[in-house]
Structure 1
Amino acid sequence: MSMRSRLRPLPCAWTGLTGVGDPPEKLRTVDGRSLVAVVSEAPEGLKAKRRDVLAHQSVLERLMADGSVLPLRFGALAPDDDAVQQVLDERADAYLERLSELDGCVEFHLKASVVEEARNILLGSEEARRLNEDVRAGRGGQDLRMALGGLFAGEVQRRHEVLAAETVDALRPVARDVRTSEPTGDDFVSVSFLVEQARQNEFLTAQKDLADRCGEDFAFRLHGPLPPYSFV
């Protein structure tokens, strides 16, 4: 489901677009006083199957091509059309303000990790090198191993915080807004950028320049352009 202002007409060509389900449900609109929600029925126990996720994404992309939208993440449900209409009207002012802020923008989501981080820490820390050499030589026992592990953990966290800040700072000037989330796994950053469509190429160039400066020890994964999920 997504929402958009009634000030812009809905796309006329819905050929090939459907809602979720098997067989897929038809799309329809729920009209509020100043907003329209594009919805479909949802089957019992809706799950994020590839077919349904792609249907959701296709509808958002078609709507975005015609104007700004407030995208709801896959799986957002309401009991009936009356409940949707009530929310549209009760929160109309806030939704319209957000639509204005998102007008002409898309989201890019960036994650990044460091390759061979242990080697980099050993190269950059004399204490880590000394402890590692003692452990490999069989000196110090379990206490020394724990000390080395604690040093590595602290150094990894410190490095990740610095790298994340530098990554965000490098790309913030070409974005309208930024939303960070907690990175997972080996990633040191997980961040979404709200980018004006007119500046997409500028943003992509800035991200490539950042990756080139960082070199082969860094693995950057950029996803987008996406509907601005993180900024609704």
Structure 2
Amino acid sequence: MPLYVYSITAKDHPRRLDGLHGVGAEPSPLRTVTAGPLCAVVSDVDEEIRPKRRDLTAHQAVQEQLMADGAVLPLQFGYIAADDLSVREALAADADGYLSTLARLEGCAEYHVRASQTDDAPLLQQILADSPEARDLNERIRGGDRDPALPLALGEMVAHEVQARQEALAAGLTETLISFSREYLARPPSGSDFLNLSLLVPDEQKENLRVAEANMAREIGSGIDLRFSGPLPPYSFVQ
């Protein structure tokens, strides 16, 4: 029977699963499949599992409960195995690699940090104050100069300066934040974000990270939305 696979743990992990339920409209009980020093947490499924809120929540609850008791290798949502045998074979095939990753993640959680520009006005004012060229173009436009090239030139100048300043801020934030992490992963930002950073943070640094978060928000001031999320299962650092 097909299995939905949630995560991989060491055999000696407590795996306290009471009170949790699996994915699906009528979820089967959570159970484990063991192969040597490793276990996979699974549940039987007889339907196609889609990313509905109900099932995403169930998947995440299993990861968080397991993570509270020790290192876990969380699988991304939607992993289906053919049967128990295929799970055992997969665990046995890369047992050393799984054990090494579990040791690397022991005592750590993942945190995400994103930043976006929420109010352009303070930044634009600062650019005009710092750049004589931009200020001159702006004054000519406001003074009634109808040269159609002026707005385009000013727009390009400001856009270039905004990008440069956001990249510099992102680099500075990253440099500070990675000092609290064991590993980090910087991804290309999307949408309005100019920072998208994942941190693997050991337990002893979590409070320091929270203090740094508060200090950064205070120092950055208005116009920037700095968003932290975590502690989370270490999806980004399972290799």
TM-score (norm 2): 0.87
Confirm or deny: 8 A CA contact 1:176 1:194 kept in the other structure: yes
Listed one character per residue, the Cα deviations across residues 52-94 of structure 1 (whole Å, up to 9, x for unaligned) are 1111111111111221001112122223333322221111111
Number of the residue aligned with 2:186 = 180
Q: Pick the aligned partner of 2:146 from 139, 143, 147.
A: 139
Q: What is the CA-CA distance between 1:231 and the residue it aligns to?
A: 0.8
> Which residue type is aligned with residue 3 of structure 1?
I
Q: Distance in 2 between matches of 1:153 and 1:79?
A: 52
99 and 134 in structure 1: CA distance in 2 versus 1, 3 angstrom threshold: same
83 and 135 in structure 1: CA distance in 2 versus 1, 3 angstrom threshold: farther
Q: Pick the aligned partner of 1:84 from 87, 95, 112.
A: 87
Query: 2:111 aligned with 1:108, yes or no?
Result: yes
Listed one character per residue, the Cα deviations across residues 183-206 of structure 1 (whole Å, up to 9, x for unaligned) are 112211011111112321111111
Q: Distance in 1 between matches of 2:71 and 2:152?
A: 53
Query: 2:7 aligned with 1:2, yes or no?
Result: yes
Q: Distance in 1 between matches of 2:34 and 2:50?
A: 27
Q: What is the CA-CA distance between 1:118 and the residue it aligns to?
A: 5.1
Query: 2:63 aligned with 1:63, yes or no?
Result: no
How many aligned positions are there? 229
Confirm or deny: 8 A CA contact 1:108 1:192 kept in the other structure: yes
5+ residue gaps, structure 2, are 1-5
Confirm or deny: 8 A CA contact 1:107 1:224 kept in the other structure: yes
Listed one character per residue, the Cα deviations across residues 151-201 of structure 1 (whole Å, up to 9, x for unaligned) are 233222212211111011111222111111111122110111111123211
Number of the residue aligned with 1:209 = 215
Identity %: 43
Confirm or deny: 8 A CA contact 1:34 1:89 kept in the other structure: no
Q: Distance in 2 between matches of 1:45 and 1:127?
A: 60
Q: Pick the aligned partner of 1:166 from 172, 176, 183.
A: 172
Number of the residue aligned with 1:24 = 27
Number of the residue aligned with 1:150 = 156
Q: What is the CA-CA distance between 1:20 and the residue it aligns to?
A: 0.2
Q: What is the CA-CA distance between 1:25 and the residue it aligns to?
A: 2.4
Number of the residue aligned with 1:98 = 101
Q: What is the CA-CA distance between 1:14 and the residue it aligns to?
A: 2.5
What root-mean-square deviation, in Å, do the aligned CA atoms of Structure 1 and Structure 2 show? 1.9
Q: Distance in 2 between matches of 1:155 and 1:41?
A: 55
Q: Distance in 2 between matches of 1:128 and 1:195?
A: 42
Q: Distance in 2 between matches of 1:26 and 1:135?
A: 69
TM-score (norm 1): 0.90
Q: What is the CA-CA distance between 1:115 and the residue it aligns to?
A: 3.1
Q: What is the CA-CA distance between 1:2 and the residue it aligns to?
A: 0.5
Q: Distance in 2 between matches of 1:47 and 1:133?
A: 56
Number of the residue aligned with 2:126 = 123
Confirm or deny: 8 A CA contact 1:194 1:231 kept in the other structure: yes
Number of the residue aligned with 2:3 = none
Confirm or deny: 8 A CA contact 1:121 1:128 kept in the other structure: no
> Which residue type is aligned with residue 147 of structure 2?
G
Moved more, 207-216 or 101-110: 207-216
